[in-house]
Amino acid sequence: MDKVGIIGGTGYTGSELSRILCTHPEVELAALTSRQNAGKKVSDVQTFLKGYSDIRFTEKISDTKGLDIVFVATPHGVAMEEVPQLIESGIKVIDLSGDYRLHNTSDYSKWYGHEHTDPKNLKKAVYGLPELFRDKIKGADLVANPGCYATSITLACAPLIKAGVVENDIIADAKSGTSGAGMVPSPRLHHPFCGESIIPYSVGTHRHTPEVEMAIEKFSKTGVNVTMVPQLLPIVRGILSSCYMNLKKDMTDGEIEKIFVKQYGKEPFVHYVKEPSIRAVVGSNHAHVSSNVIGGKVVAFGVLDNLVKGASGQAVQCMNLMLGKKETIGLEAPGLGV
């Protein structure tokens, strides 16, 4: 039984990790950190874990010995302070922040606004999108878990870019539920402001933009230019990304579908469907991809739960691969549907 710890156990991604891991049959959820809640029972703070966990929050992850793997579920800038000592101690790490996604320190500084202090491990980190980089994730010591928008857009576009049937300019119209913004309250997330509305934000400046470009280039060996327009939906969970690309030649819906089926037909969590649905995947590690040809263009859709396949579920999927376990174990549940 592998022992698992979580740094940042009270945020949305840390809480979702706890929910998934507490019933995982082959790991023990042994440690969660929270400076504010240190010493308190986890189930008294995260009451949805009543009956599933009796451990207490600790202030530091080093307070728990014998950990095999640690998830870092903190805001960016924190992980790079924690990861070096964990790696040096022989503990595998999955970082759910953006600290290890961009392998170029100058790109990190440009998009995140401060210097990266761990360039050594930054170069070693494996990008944790299993459907595209499974072989590299297996046995890795450090995995950078992808962002939620980046996962939905990359899954939708990468097969078409690799197949060489579309031009390299992508316009991504991406809509997300409010949980993607994290737990810290803000005027934009105040219900009277965001309820019954759709709000564009971070247009042209969202940090998942260079991440998508990097991931697609790694997979297809072809560079792309992404124009990303994120928008806030008045729902809690879910992302729907509509990605517009110009076709290099006339193609039918059936021909495009064959490209997706070739890429994802045997995948346990990514499914090509005719009509993608947020409700079909919410609460699960499943994602939908779909497409429609419109004249000389194709629109490709990527749909997922931003807290599961877009964050914590995908991290557990990576953990399973890193530890040599069955990739789907602990994640074999369908979406809610309603």
d(CA 211, CA 10): 26
DSSP assignment letter at 39:
T
Q: Give the type of residue at 303.
A: V
- The alpha helices in the chain, defined as continuous H runs, are 12-21, 42-45, 79-88, 105-112, 119-124, 130-137, 148-163, 191-194, 208-220, 253-264, 278-281, 313-322
Tell me if 66 sits within 8 A of 54, measured CB to CB.
no
d(CA 32, CA 57): 5
Render 225-280 in DSSP notation, one character per residue: EEEEEEEE-SSSS-EEEEEEEEBSS---HHHHHHHHHHHHTT-SSEEE-SS--HHH
Q: Are strands 225-232 and 287-294 parallel, antiparallel or unpaired?
A: unpaired
d(CA 299, CA 280): 20
Beta-carbon-side half-sphere exposure of residue 66 (alpha carbons within 13 Å)? 7
318 is catalytic: no
Catalytic option among 22, 148, 157, 318:
148
- Residue 253, token pair as written in the block: 């819906």
Instruction: Enumerate the active-site residues.
Output: 148
